[in-house]
Chain A
Amino acid sequence: MALRLWASSAANALKISSSAARAAPAYSISRYFSTVLDGLKYSSSHEWVKHDGSVATIGITDHAQDSLGELVYVELPTAGTQVSQGEAFGNVESVKATSDVNSPISGEIVEVNAALNEKAVLINESPYGDGWMIKVKPSNPSELDALLDAGKYTKHCEEEHAH
């Protein structure tokens, strides 16, 4: 899967064009860099969806895990629960803060990542891989069209960061 790094702030500071960011520099300034994967869809609240046939896998993005800090606890619903687009399906705890996680799509949860009960930090270590949170059978696949692609999500992160 192709990797895209968003780094326009750093690029500006370093006076290099951001299209050159594909040939990633050897160093990274973590405050400005966050991994965004092509091929996934994203919500503006920093969740990702990977749609594979009849099942969609959902988690939170690299940007989200970084801004949360080290996770110590994850609360997930049980399989069989219905979720709605934009509504919370669970929450995570880091630095004494409980933060809701919203579902980018509607449907029925078919599987939750039980490994997170033992090791919440998996989400920080591998937000797009082992740190996946739930798998959903989408009830309305057209909802995916309304989500952001990697480019638009990258731009969204940059705009949020520009405060």
Chain B
Amino acid sequence: MSGGARRVLEAWKLGLVRYGDALRLQERLVADRRAGRVSDLVLSLQHPPTYTLGKRRTDHNLLLPEVELRGLGAEIHRTERGGDVTFHGPRQAVLYPILSLRTIGLGARRYVEGLESAMIEVAALYGVKARPGAAGETGVWVGDRKIGAIGVRISSGFTCHGLAFNIDPDLGYFKHIVPCGIADKEVTSLRREAAVELPPDEAIHDQLVQSLARTFFFSDVEVKDESECADMVCLSAATQS
């Protein structure tokens, strides 16, 4: 990277956010980023139980009727991101980087590899040897068990959606889908794979943010915490038509 230039990644720590609210916030932020009103940033959050489908609408990978999934207390959302069906829930770290890939000089493939490597780096902090997926199996794996998922949308080089890293979510929810469209492979979590005790989730979120910043050549991370961001999320929720 060019010497000396200070490149700051803002980290917005949002706590627990409903999927729809996070989506609307991302739409606003991508427009802001495009217009230069905000700089590169990453949203760091968790979702209540939520199933999401990507652009390809692979409904066949939902193994229960929607009404039954809702009966389990989960929301269901159809999105414009790449990737297949997945589950988000409490104790799963979700990061949505809103970046200008053209400024960083990356294409989709190298961006996604960067997301994978950030999760791999953090898993390694806990003694867990994770690896990127083979061709067609984008994501982060420990052996044959999936610990991290990726689904991204890129519009004129601006990113939204991102990654989901299982710290210790209720893995039972994954039984009702074919996760990421890959049958007969298990889903796992850092809690299951690590031999050491885990710190509070917030520490792991912070480590993921730091790892992302390093991977994408940022020199600094500036943290905005929940109190500063809460208005932003509410504003997006309130302006939903």
Contact = CB atoms under 8 A, between A and B. Distances in A.
Contacts of B56: 73, 93
Interface stretch (A51-59, A96-104, A146-154): A96-104
B156 A93 contact: no
Contacts of B106: 67
B55 interface: yes
Given A91-B55, A95-B109, A97-B111, A163 B1 contact: yes
Interface string B153-185: 111110000000000000000000000000000
Nearest to A71: B108
B105 A160 contact: yes
Interface stretch (B37-45, B134-142, B200-208): B134-142
Contacts of A64: 107
Contacts of A141: none
B105 A100 contact: no
Contacts of B97: none
A97 B153 contact: yes
Nearest to B56: A73
A45 B155 CA distance: 11
Interface in A78-106: 88, 91, 93-100, 102
B155 A96 contact: no
A95 B112 contact: yes
A70 interface: yes
A34 to B, nearest CB: 11
A39 interface: no
Contact of B151 (A75, A96, A160, A162): A96
For the complex of A and B, 3 pairs with smallest distance between CB atoms: A67-B107, A163-B105, A69-B109
Interface of A: 45, 64, 66-70, 72-73, 75, 88, 91, 93-100, 102, 160-163
